[in-house]
Amino acid sequence: MTALLPRRGLAQILALIVILAVDRVVSPQFFDLRLQDGRLFGSLIDVLNRGTPVALLSLGMVLVIATRGIDLSVGAVMAISGAIAASLADTHSLAVVLAAALGAGLICGLWNGFLVAVLGMQPIVATLILMVAGRGIAQLITEGRIVTFSSPDLVWLGNGSILGLPVPVAIALGMLILTGAVVRGSALGLLIEATGGNARASELAGVGTRAMILAVYVWCGVCAALAGVIAAADIMGADANNAGLWLELDAILAVVIGGTSLFGGRFSLVLAVLGALIIQTMNTGILLSGYPPEFNLLVKAVVVLAVLLLQSPKLSGFAGVVTRLRRTKA
């Protein structure tokens, strides 16, 4: 399990604790939890619940970024899968709805992976295509309307509860464990990191880099599709224009906050999800504090800059000096 939560997670955990403490100051009831109708309620649960889509996206995104790629299309894929799920929900069973929506995500991921791995396009460019066209495709599916549904099965997926936890949170947790088990329980994670570290050297060493790249984009598409279904189930409808809008940026931000380098080569699933939670805790805190939600963007900008400066290779010399100073003091 040490591979799942490396020592470098300390900064992120501290950041989360600080933000939680600020939230507690802003809203004294922040840590209150109560059990009602077999489901936990409270601001903390709310943070987990609202953070689910970005957490799911970041699970896929972190693997893509580990191969030195990036996937800008996840927001559009969310819109597509949400549109499919909403249009099928009232006439088909949950299994069919899920299969269709996740299948669409798989196809989107295959397309991106094909462009990057087989045609050798730059990831930003390759996924930009689907980012632009994807929302158009989603609107094609919903015919430009906001499709609503009332299928209890799908609504449960967004609003129900399992063992006291909201279903979306349980799903995200399940996906984290599943992804972690597959990637870190085998050599797959190492091969992905190798691909990101130096694709050519890995190829020569016998790593199937193309297959790795294809696989991470496919997984990213599936995660995005799942996030799209949950987002649609949450509001009992699909809005092709706004579903998942700008969430690709949040997902990338979550991964970056989680300490995964944009230059590939190393990654941490748990920290990426933690990054998503940090973003959501900030959002919720700003909402609770009564500041206009527009403040979010400013705060996010400051956080991105801070994280960037911490990660900057130029500053690591400075950081080294600081640690040395600290050591001599202690």
Partner 1 sequence: MKGLPPVLITAVVLVAGFALCAVQFPNIASTRVVGNLLTDNAFLGIVATGMTFVIISGGIDLSVGSVIGFTTVFVALAIERWGMPPLVAFVAILALSAAFGAAMGAMIHVFDLPPFIVTLAGMFLARGASFLLSTESVPITAPVYSTVSDFALRLPGGGRLTAVAIIMLTIVIGGALLLRLTRFGANVYALGGSRQAASLMGVAVGRMTVKIYMLSSLLAGIAGIVFSFYTSAGYSLSAVGVELDTIAAVVIGGTLLTGGQGSVVGTFLGVLIQGMIQTYINFDGTLSSWWTKIATGVLLFAFIALQQGLVALARRPVAKRVGAVS
Site of interaction with partner 1 (CB under 8 A): 70, 119-122, 124-126, 128-137, 139-140, 144, 240, 249, 252-253, 256, 262-263, 292, 294-301, 304-305, 308-309, 312-315
Residue 181 vs 308, nearer CB to partner 1:
308
Q: How far is the CB of 174 from partner 1 (least distance, A)?
A: 30
Tokens at residue 170, please?
A: 């349980």
Alpha helices in 35-118 (DSSP H): 43-66, 74-88, 94-113
Please report where in the chains the tokens 């989680």 appear, as a residue: 258
DSSP string, 219-247: HHHHHHHHHHHHHHHHHTEE-TTTTTTTH
Residue 48 vs 78, nearer CB to partner 1:
78
Q: How far is the CB of 36 from partner 1 (least distance, A)?
A: 35
Q: How far is the CB of 205 from partner 1 (least distance, A)?
A: 24
Q: How far is the CB of 95 from partner 1 (least distance, A)?
A: 29
Q: How far is the CB of 297 from partner 1 (least distance, A)?
A: 3
Residue 33 vs 319, nearer CB to partner 1:
319
Q: How far is the CB of 317 from partner 1 (least distance, A)?
A: 12
Residue 70 vs 227, nearer CB to partner 1:
70
d(CA 77, CA 109): 9
Q: How far is the CB of 197 from partner 1 (least distance, A)?
A: 17
Residue 158 vs 221, nearer CB to partner 1:
221
- Choose among 304, 284, 281, 289: nearest CA to 19: 281
Q: CA separation (Å) from 29 to 20, 26, 246?
A: 12, 9, 30
3-state DSSP assignment of residue 27: coil
Residue 175 vs 224, nearer CB to partner 1:
224
Residue 140 vs 211, nearer CB to partner 1:
140
Please report where in the chains the tokens 């799911």 appear, as a residue: 56
Q: How far is the CB of 153 from partner 1 (least distance, A)?
A: 29
Q: Please give the span between the terminal C-alpha atoms of the chain, in angstroms, as a whole number.
A: 30
Cross-strand partners of 166: 161
For residues 67 and 255, the answer to whether their CB atoms sit within 8 Å is no
State the pairing for strand pair 237-238/147-148: antiparallel
For residues 154 and 238, the answer to whether their CB atoms sit within 8 Å is no
Residue 206 vs 292, nearer CB to partner 1:
292
For residues 303 and 250, the answer to whether their CB atoms sit within 8 Å is no
Q: CA separation (Å) from 255 to 70, 147, 181?
A: 11, 32, 19
